Structure 1
Amino acid sequence: MSQPQHSDLIRLVDVAKRLPKLAVKLPNIAMGLSQAYLRTPKTPAGLALAFERAVKRNPKGTALLFEEQKYSYTELNEWANQIAHLYLDQGVKKGDVIAVIIENRSELVATTLALAKIGVIAALVNTSQTGKVLTHSVNLVKPVAVIVGEECRKAVDTVRDSLSVAQDQFYWFADQQTRQDAGEEPKQYTNLAKKIKEYSKDNPNETHHVAGQDGLFYIYTSGTTGLPKAVIFSNSRWMLAYGTYGHVLNLNKDDVMYVTLPLYHATGMVVCWCGVIAGSSALAIRRKFSTSCFWTDVQKHNASAIGYVGELCRYLMDAPESPNDRKHRVTKMIGNGMRPNIWDGFKQRFGIEEVLELYASSEGNVGFSNVFNFNNTVGFSPVPFSIIQYDKEKDQPVRDSKGHCIKVKKGETGLLIGKITHRSPFDGYTDPEKNKSSIMHDVFKKGDSYFNTGDLVRDIGFRHAQFVDRLGDTFRWKGENVSTTEVENICSDYEKISEAVVYGVEIPNTNGRAGMAAITLKENTTLDDEDLVKMAAAFKSELPPYAVPVFLRVQEKIETTGTFKYQKSKLKEEAFYPDKTSDRLLILLPNSDRYCDITPEILSNIEHYKYRF
């Protein structure tokens, strides 16, 4: 992110000007905050109870739209209840885990709601995962069952024998409108849509025994040790999002939220859907984002709000201008990662009045939301946090002579940390060691504890921040966090590669950082034309599309520090520019099935934004 303009810094007068518009929302926000904070961990709370209250408020209103499918709040609730009663009959109990591997469609929403109703934790597996990564993600959370959409069955069947799940606990949904036609299941799967028909449509009593402290989802985040981490998302944390983001959005029964974000991520599943439930509104989903179909779908579903990540906004801005750009009633959007250089232009082109940019992480305890509707900020945070000085060269916070951290001044950039309190707890990971490394102690005084977000942000005043960059061994590309170690492991599996170092590099006019791998080859080997095809195929088969390295740098030897750490800062700085290194540089161009050498023409095209990465 570029340095802030003076206008980005927020003054008291700027806040005062926004208060009249915010005042209209205050009753709704106050109600939301009371639900978010006035509870104990043992109080009944969460997604299922909130949804059942929405059913009472708007029983005949539309709850879910997908393609040509439409479900009222009552219909979706009854569908979820049947799934819930089936699993209760199977002996599944609160605290058990079921892995859910279904793309964005109605069956995913109904299933997630069903499991929430009985206190079963839905492990929302990334549907792009295959091979070793998929096996790891499922086995990590020790599920008692797996629910698979037909569209993901091939990936599951490939690793099925490696999954620690009883063979009779694999359930299946046909890739069609299963409420009308359950379809015929493949061998070794139970047809869930067919099986639930005999079960009750009534709300299960178990919902009232699901408390805030109970787990709701496992959401996967990239870990620094290579494979995904499963982050527990409790019902209490869901209520916090529901009471804050959900009510600030201020939707009502006539509103429709259009979401193309993957629902295995918190932005779509938690932030967008909780805003819909808070308003008893409709959730319209699409299987995968499409630039060309976006505004057509918005019109089709009569959407009034959209969910976004920064990459999505860039794709929409890159598309040729069209009459459809404003032929809609969308005035609000909620999400994260909007680039400052397109923020105002996006609002002007598409007629957006309110950008509810937010900052949160699946595992963290600090969140921001743009309640005052300023440009170029992740917004305001009501929870205790600090932004501290950070030495990027030494890769550690700056401490004073007493060993205490030092807060940055207004306008400066530093490491964001969230204070751990009973109101803002750290729910953490499944891995205790990862939890330890994420907590900082004795930050400002002896005995205090803070969660280390690993993110650099800028303090722009009045408890507002701008996101700047991520630290550590992850980077963000195409709206996803990429684990460098995971990609390094896959690259190193290729027969001619002895070692790989992966890092993110910036491509002009794109969001986030594209993956680049500096590789060393095994002794007496070279890369020929066949390798350039085989490597691309191998990486694509083992990695999600967003994690496949866009660039390769072939080195004779990888430089390390005196403590044997890779010198990634130098690699990032030299990036993919031939004038900065004599190493061979390769690129996987969009829609290509092979790596090719970076030529002056290709470099010029990259710099002039001729490729759509």
Structure 2
Amino acid sequence: MSQTTQHDLIGIADVAAKIPAFISKVPNLLSGLKQAYLRTPNTPAGLGIAFEKAVKRNPEGFALYFEDQKYTYNELNEWANQIGHYYLSLGAKKGDVIAVMIENRSELVATIVGLAKIGVTSALVNTAQVGKVLTHSINLVKPIAVIVGEECRQAVQDVRDDLTVAADRLHWFADQATRIDAGKAPKGFINLAETIDQFPKFNTPTTASVKGKDGLFYIYTSGTTGLPKAVIFTNSRWTLAYGTYGHVLNLNKDDVMYVTLPLYHATGTVVCWCGVIAGSATLALRRKFSTSSFWKDVQKFDASAIGYVGELCRYLMDAPVSELEKGHRVKKMIGNGMRPNIWDKFKERFGVEEVLELYASSEGNVGFSNVFNFDNTVGFSPTPYAIIQFDKEKNEAVRDAKGWCKKVKKGEVGLLVGKITRRSPFDGYTDAEKNKSVVMKDVFKHGDSFFNTGDLVRDIGFRHAQFVDRLGDTFRWKGENVSTTEVENMVSEYEKIAEAVVYGVEIPDTNGRAGMAAITLTDAAELNEQDCSAMVNLFKKSLPAYAVPVFLRIQKQVETTGTFKYQKNKLKEQAFDPKQTDDRLLVLLPNATAYCDLTPEIYANIQAYKYRF
């Protein structure tokens, strides 16, 4: 992120100037905050209850658009109820988990609502996962069933023998409008669309029995153990997001929110969809983001709001000017990762008036939201937090002589930590040891506890912050969190590679960090043209596309610390600059099927943004 300027710092006068525009949101925001903060772990809460309220407010209004499909709130509710009743008939109960692997489409939305109403936790599996990673993700949460879309069936079928799920609990949706044509299930799978058709359409009797403490989703994040971690997202946390992000957006029955973000991530399924449900508005869904189709879809669905991540914004800015990007209804957008260097340009080019940038994480207990519509900030946080001094060399918080952490001054960068309280709890991971590693004790006084976000942010004043960087063994690329350890394990499976150190490096004018692997080869091995192609094939087979390393650095040996930790700081600083090292450097250029040598000319072209990574 670029350096802060005096202009970015926020004071009382700046907030006062925003008050007139903010006033119109206040009634709706107060209503949301009341729902968010009056909840307790034992009060009825969550997606199921909120959705049924939206159905009552706007029964014949459209809840969902997907391709040429349209569903009213009544129709989507009846569909979800049939799914819920079916699983109740199988004996599913509150606290059970069902793994769901369906791309962004109507069947996924109906499934999530249906399971939420009966208190069953949906484990939202990343649809790009394959092999060992997929097996781990499903078995980790001990599901009673797996619901898979035809588009993901082969990946599940490939690991079927390794899954700890009963043979008669693999449920399937055809890759089509299954409310019209259920399709024919392949061998070994039960046709869910066909099976639920005989079940009742009225509301399940369980919705009001779902409490705040009950699990709603498992969302997977990259872990330092090398495999994804499942983060529990409770109904209480969803209600907090619904009451804040959902109501700040201030949508109504005439609004349409266009979402191309994957619903297995919280930005899409929680942040964007919350705003839709809060306003009884319409969710317009696309399976995957497409630059060329984006504004066509906005016009087709008559969208008035969009969900985003920073990479999406950059792709739209890079695209040629189109007549479709003007003359639409989009005035609001909600998401995260908008780069400061395109913020103003994006608003001006596409006619957007409000960028509701936010900060949150699937596992965290602290959130920021740009409620006052300032530029270049993740916004304001009502939750208790601190930004503390952090020593990047030692990789630890700075403490004074008495052992207490020290807050940064306005304008300075530090580690963001969220105070753990009854109102802002840390729900945690499935792994108890991982929970211990991210909770900091005795931060400012004896007995206090804070969640370590692992993120560096800048304090810009008036409880506002700017996101700066991510610490630790994950980095963000293509809008996804990449686990360095997971990639290291997979890269090292190539027969000529003895060891790999993976880290993120910045490419000019792109969001996040591209993957780079410093590799050492087995004795006497060399990489030839055939290897450069074979490595790409293996990596793409074993890893999601966004996790495949863009750069390789071939080292004679890997530098480690005295405690055998990889020396990543030096590698990150040298990145992929040929002038910084005598090591051989390789790059996987956009649309290429093999790595090639990174020459000074290619390096110069990357720096000049002549390649679109």
Q: Return the TM-score normalized by structure 2.
A: 1.00
CA distance in 2, matches of 1:200, 1:341: 53
Q: What is the aligned partner in structure 2 of residue 455 from structure 1?
A: 455
Is 2:394 the partner of 1:394?
yes
Is 2:356 the partner of 1:366?
no
Q: CA deviation at 1:14?
A: 0.5
Post-superposition CA distance 1:104-160 (Å, at most 9, x none): 000000001100000000000000000111011001000010000000011111111
Q: Counterpart amino acid of 1:598?
A: L
Q: CA deviation at 1:85?
A: 0.4
Q: What is the aligned partner in structure 1 of residue 39 from structure 2?
A: 39
Alignment of 1:435-584 (within 5 A): 435-584=435-584
CA distance in 1, matches of 2:325, 2:55: 33
Alignment of 1:47-446 (within 5 A): 47-446=47-446
Q: Counterpart amino acid of 1:459?
A: D
Q: Counterpart amino acid of 1:281?
A: A
- Secondary structure of the equivalent of 1:187? coil
CA distance in 1, matches of 2:537, 2:267: 30
The percentage of counterpart residues that share the same residue type is 75
CA distance in 1, matches of 2:133, 2:314: 29
Post-superposition CA distance 1:299-319 (Å, at most 9, x none): 000000000000000000000
CA distance in 2, matches of 1:22, 1:38: 23
Q: What is the aligned partner in structure 2 of residue 13 from structure 1?
A: 13
- Secondary structure of the equivalent of 1:440? strand
CA distance in 2, matches of 1:512, 1:39: 36
Q: Counterpart amino acid of 2:545?
A: P
- Secondary structure of the equivalent of 1:198? coil
Post-superposition CA distance 1:28-84 (Å, at most 9, x none): 000000000112211111000000000000000000000000000000000000000
- Secondary structure of the equivalent of 1:293? helix
CA distance in 1, matches of 2:445, 2:105: 49
Q: CA deviation at 1:601?
A: 2.2
CA distance in 2, matches of 1:110, 1:572: 44
Q: Counterpart amino acid of 2:182?
A: A
Q: Counterpart amino acid of 1:233?
A: F
Q: Counterpart amino acid of 2:442?
A: D
CA distance in 2, matches of 1:140, 1:132: 12
Q: CA deviation at 1:526?
A: 1.0
Q: What is the aligned partner in structure 2 of residue 588 from structure 1?
A: 588
Q: CA deviation at 1:323?
A: 1.3
Is 2:611 the partner of 1:611?
yes
CA distance in 1, matches of 2:206, 2:11: 49
CA distance in 2, matches of 1:394, 1:119: 44
Q: Counterpart amino acid of 1:381?
A: S
- Secondary structure of the equivalent of 1:86? helix
CA distance in 2, matches of 1:327, 1:75: 31
CA distance in 1, matches of 2:446, 2:77: 50
CA distance in 1, matches of 2:307, 2:409: 33
- Secondary structure of the equivalent of 2:218? strand
CA distance in 2, matches of 1:259, 1:478: 16
CA distance in 2, matches of 1:231, 1:514: 25
- Secondary structure of the equivalent of 1:572? helix
CA distance in 1, matches of 2:109, 2:149: 12
- Secondary structure of the equivalent of 1:109? helix
CA distance in 1, matches of 2:352, 2:159: 45
Q: Counterpart amino acid of 1:208?
A: A
CA distance in 2, matches of 1:577, 1:122: 44
CA distance in 2, matches of 1:469, 1:216: 29
- Secondary structure of the equivalent of 2:355? strand
CA distance in 2, matches of 1:146, 1:49: 24
CA distance in 2, matches of 1:548, 1:264: 20
CA distance in 2, matches of 1:126, 1:39: 30
Q: Counterpart amino acid of 2:35?
A: Q
CA distance in 2, matches of 1:357, 1:64: 24
Q: Which runs of 5+ in 1 are unaligned?
A: none
CA distance in 2, matches of 1:429, 1:93: 21
CA distance in 1, matches of 2:96, 2:494: 38
Q: CA deviation at 1:327?
A: 2.1
Cα RMSD for the two superposed structures: 0.5
CA distance in 1, matches of 2:601, 2:537: 25
Q: CA deviation at 1:466?
A: 0.1
Q: Counterpart amino acid of 1:25?
A: K
CA distance in 2, matches of 1:605, 1:79: 52
- Secondary structure of the equivalent of 2:95? coil
Post-superposition CA distance 1:15-39 (Å, at most 9, x none): 0000111111100000000000112
CA distance in 1, matches of 2:458, 2:40: 33
Q: Counterpart amino acid of 2:518?
A: A
CA distance in 2, matches of 1:590, 1:133: 25
CA distance in 1, matches of 2:13, 2:321: 36
- Secondary structure of the equivalent of 1:292? helix
Q: Counterpart amino acid of 1:30?
A: L
- Secondary structure of the equivalent of 1:524? coil
Q: Counterpart amino acid of 1:477?
A: W
CA distance in 2, matches of 1:591, 1:173: 32
Q: Counterpart amino acid of 1:223?
A: G
CA distance in 2, matches of 1:383, 1:271: 17
597-606 or 183-192, which deviates more = 597-606
- Secondary structure of the equivalent of 1:334? strand
Q: CA deviation at 1:563?
A: 1.5
CA distance in 2, matches of 1:326, 1:334: 19
Q: Counterpart amino acid of 2:381?
A: S
CA distance in 2, matches of 1:447, 1:598: 53
- Secondary structure of the equivalent of 1:122? strand
Post-superposition CA distance 1:429-452 (Å, at most 9, x none): 000000000000000000000000
CA distance in 2, matches of 1:549, 1:285: 30
Q: Counterpart amino acid of 2:387?
A: I
Q: Counterpart amino acid of 1:308?
A: Y
594-603 or 198-207, which deviates more = 594-603
CA distance in 2, matches of 1:368, 1:31: 19
CA distance in 1, matches of 2:242, 2:182: 33
Aligned length: 613
- Secondary structure of the equivalent of 1:233? strand
CA distance in 1, matches of 2:364, 2:436: 13
CA distance in 2, matches of 1:604, 1:319: 22
Q: CA deviation at 1:559?
A: 0.6
Q: Counterpart amino acid of 1:510?
A: T
CA distance in 1, matches of 2:24, 2:423: 27
CA distance in 2, matches of 1:166, 1:495: 36
Post-superposition CA distance 1:246-268 (Å, at most 9, x none): 00000000000000000000000
Q: Which runs of 4 or more aligned residues in structure 1 lie more than 6 Å from their structure 2 counterparts after TM superposition?
A: none
